[in-house]
Homo-oligomer: A and B are copies of this chain.
Amino acid sequence: MSKFWSKAVEHAKPYVPGEQLNDPGIIKLNTNENPYPPSPKVREAINLEIERLHLYPDPKADALNNTVAAYYGVAKEQVFVGNGSDEVLAFSFMAFFDQGKKIRYPAITYSFYPVYANLFHIPVEEVPLNRNFSLPVEAFFQSEGGVIFPNPNAPTSRYLNLDAIKEIAENNPDNVVIIDEAYVDFAKESAVELTIQCENLLVIQTLSKSRSLAGLRVGFAIGHPNLIEGLNRIKDSFNSYTIDRLAMAGARASILDKEYFKETTAKIIYTREWVKEEMKKRGFHVLPSQTNFLFACHYQKSASQLYEDLKEDGVLIRHFNKPKIDNYIRITIGTDEQMKTFIKKLDKLI
């Protein structure tokens, strides 16, 4: 505490990201990073841009907006880009949720949502998940102030079909429904197409996972131009230039290289499926994943013990010490080689 702090600081409950160990000897399966480097085109694009670093970037990020728009077949006015999807999420909380009205999100979900809600004084109703960790669709109907959830959900890895998302949007006609699609490229399909019909639906994505660009910090939102204008008004009241020149150039090159993206994403999905089967053989209950990670518990060995033992043995996974999921571990899908080592180390433990 300091007498110089605002009330916002006093009441802040900051987010705690996963451990970022820089030990190259460790197998890092704890923050859902992509094990493959970004497309080689990213390096070329960044190198061309370095010579312009003394000049401000385009505050409207038109080139990147256009690239995202073309990729998804929407208009440029339906796209907003930000400094990682976390920034897009923060701006969205400011732009669409109000202090007087309760928003809904799942009781088990991305742990940054309560942090934003607390920071911006937005009241919350946490919706319990079904026993199998699926989303209770109707419980999100007729919210007072809006809805937000990831699809696939994190850390559960479960995916919700588009019909259900459409129903949730239609049953919140006066509020914004935000679908946080950080992992959607490892899943069946994106809800972007629904944003044409549902003017209250905002879809948020990131280049951190499927694009191998966690280190570059780029995310985006797609929605009705009215929603995008709301985000731009907040952004331009907060920071004019959120995306630097290198991030803009690298993100564009990545999105344009569709072949590389398809190849690396397919590899991760393939690896995910065999790792899942191997874990099942070893007594794990593994949720059906449409992400680049698995969420699993063991019939005998506790999650916290697994986390500790694996860490001791040079493999970092994630364990959330929270009600209802404290006996689960979350394992990011790495390369085939990394995952073979992971399975071998599991065999030593169980």
- Identify the A interface with B (CB < 8 A): 2-9, 12-17, 20, 22, 28, 31, 33-38, 42-43, 46-47, 49-59, 83-84, 86-87, 90, 94-99, 112, 115-116, 118-119, 174-176, 199-200, 208, 212-217, 226-227, 229-230, 232-234, 236-247, 250
Contact = CB atoms under 8 A, between A and B. Distances in A.
Contact of A234 (B9, B57, B99, B238): B9
A50 B43 CA distance: 7
A212 B217 CA distance: 21
Contacts of A229: 2
Nearest to A231: B9
B43 A56 contact: no
A309 to B, nearest CB: 24
A94 B245 CA distance: 27
B7 A241 contact: no
Given A86-B239, A246-B46, A5 B54 contact: no
Nearest to A52: B215
A114 to B, nearest CB: 10
A36 B52 CA distance: 10
Contact of A6 (B52, B54, B95, B199): B95
Given A42-B50, A59-B17, A216 B245 contact: yes
Given A2-B227, A236-B14, A246-B246, A50 B46 contact: yes
15 contacts: A2-B230, A6-B98, A8-B94, A9-B95, A9-B96, A12-B233, A17-B241, A20-B56, A31-B56, A43-B50, A57-B214, A83-B242, A86-B238, A118-B237, A215-B244
A9 B250 contact: no
Contact of A34 (B5, B16, B54, B232): B54
A4 B230 contact: yes
A58 B247 contact: no
Nearest to A36: B54
Contacts of A200: 4
A233 B215 CA distance: 22
B174 A3 contact: yes
A244 B28 CA distance: 19
A5 B96 contact: yes
Contact of A239 (B34, B56, B83, B199): B83
A240 B9 contact: no
Nearest to A99: B7
A4 B200 CA distance: 7
Given A12-B233, A97-B6, A241-B84, A37 B53 contact: yes
Contact of A54 (B8, B35, B230, B239): B35
Contacts of A112: 240
Considering residues A8, A199, A236, which has the most beta carbons from chain B within 10 angstroms of its beta carbon?
A8
B241 A8 contact: no
Contacts of A28: 55
A278 to B, nearest CB: 24
Nearest to A51: B37
A96 B214 contact: no
A55 B174 CA distance: 39
B239 A84 contact: yes
Contacts of A250: 53, 246
Contacts of A245: 215-216
A47 B53 CA distance: 14
